[in-house]
Structure 1
Amino acid sequence: MAMAVDPRIDAYIAGQADFAQPILRHLRGLIHAASPDIAETVKWGMPFFTYRDKNLCNMAGFQRHVAFGFWHDKVAPDGSRGEAMGQFGRIRRLHDLPDDAMIAALLRKAMALIEAGDEPRSGVKRPRAPLPLHPAFSAALNADPAAAATWAGFPPGKIRDYCE
């Protein structure tokens, strides 16, 4: 399968600051060198790279830095996020990036996680514990079946608004 190039990413890179363009082109080349099955697209206004239709990594240019990061939290070298978007902090020049071999290894790790069906932790929402009802409010609901039915139909956020 040939490298899938999206002309929107060409335009995105061309529209970035002069310092950012070589960084973004370099990252794009490394990503595509990792596998011919990596596709590129634009999501949330920035270049995203997908593997087997799952988000693999993304890059973005800002006024004074570039950001690059992996979608899966287990790919980060130390298991955490950087001080900026992505795992590598604010990238201002090519030298700020990890070496090419490390990026290639991280790309392989991210692809292996996708192949294994491992989902990123950040995509899992944990339900919040219900807040206690004030006794007087609970008594009022018990006394009025119509109000209790309306209350039961509220989404969790609206219930929290009343309880807090």
Structure 2
Amino acid sequence: MKKTDPRIDAYIQKSAPFAQPILNHLRELMHIACNDIEETMKWSMPYFDFKGVICGMAAFKNHCALVFWKASLMKDPSGLFVDRKEAMGHLGRISSLSDLPPDEVLIAYIQEAVQLNIDGVKLSAKEKNIAPKVLIIPDYLIQKLDEYPQALQTFQDFNYSHKKEYVEWITEAKTENTRLKRLDEMIALLLEGMPYNWKYMK
């Protein structure tokens, strides 16, 4: 029996029309690849777990993304990963179902990622230090930044940690009103060139 999460149903329903069949298809392949895979939400995005994180997926304004958590340990025989120096097994821009590899190829990748977790294979300390950091930024946050070029430029110039602080602060808002208020506060801070935790910086 599939272990589904209604929050992912809601996420897909709120996504752009082009993204819905892509996300539904990726979701289905996860369960075909592993009967025991579990759905969850992390950082306001759908993720799939089995004895640890396997994959995450997201919908943006014009494309979708699929990220393999332990891509640096995977073989990648079909050359699907764009550049593992910049992303954890981030597949190229997925704008339609035709952009995806054949189902059997993607299922094999998912099963390899599952097996890594079953075997308890972990990133070494060295690999953790060089492992690419993936920060999935919600489309609504990107759209807000696009309205303020100066704030957008400041955000883009920040290092990974500063960007992550803002993204987590926004996505962890419990209500829509809180999220909207935080978005406005974020823009105000960025226009001043300040990171989210500027008060604690020396």
Offset of residue 95 of structure 1: 0.5
CA change 1:62–1:123 in 2 (3 A) is farther
What is residue 27 of structure 1 aligned with on the other side? 26
Displacement of 1:124 after TM fit? 2.6
Query: In structure 2, which of residues 124, 128, 135 is the aligned counterpart of residue 124 of structure 1?
Result: 128
d(CA) in 1 for partners of 2:85, 2:91: 5
Residues 82, 3 of structure 1: alpha-carbon distance in 2 compared, 3 angstrom cutoff: farther
How has the CA–CA distance of structure 1 residues 117 and 6 changed in structure 2, closer, same or farther, with 3 Å as cutoff? same
Aligned: 1:89 with 2:92: yes
Q: Which has the larger radius of gyration?
A: 1
Runs of at least 5 residues in structure 2 that lack an aligned partner in the other structure: 131-201
Partner of 1:12: 11
Question: For the structure 1 residues 28 and 114, does the alpha-carbon distance in structure 2 shift closer, same or farther, using more than 3 Å as the test?
Answer: same
Partner of 2:188: none
Partner of 1:57: 55
Native 8 Å contact 1:67 1:85 kept in 2: no
Q: TM-score, normalised by structure 1?
A: 0.68
Higher strand share: 1
TM-score normalised by structure 2 residue count: 0.56
* Aligned CA distance change for structure 1 residues 84 and 66 (closer, same or farther; 3 Å): farther
Matched, 1:46 2:45: yes
The question of whether the paired residues in 2 share the 8 Å contact of 1:83 and 1:89 is answered with no
Distance 1:68 1:28, change over 3 A: same
Matched, 1:108 2:107: no
Q: Could you tell me how far 1:76 is from its partner in structure 2?
A: 6.2
One-letter code of the match for 1:68?
A: L
Equivalent residue pairs, number = 126
Equivalent in the alignment of 2:154? none
Give me the whole-angstrom Cα distance separating, in 2, the residues matched to 1:62 and 1:82.
22
Amino acid at match of 1:43: K
For residues 140-155 of structure 1, the aligned pairs below 5 Å read none
Over 3 Å counting, the alpha-carbon distance change for 1:92 and 1:85 in structure 2 is farther
Judged with a 3 Å threshold, the aligned counterparts in structure 2 of structure 1 residues 30 and 45 are, in CA distance, closer, same or farther, namely same
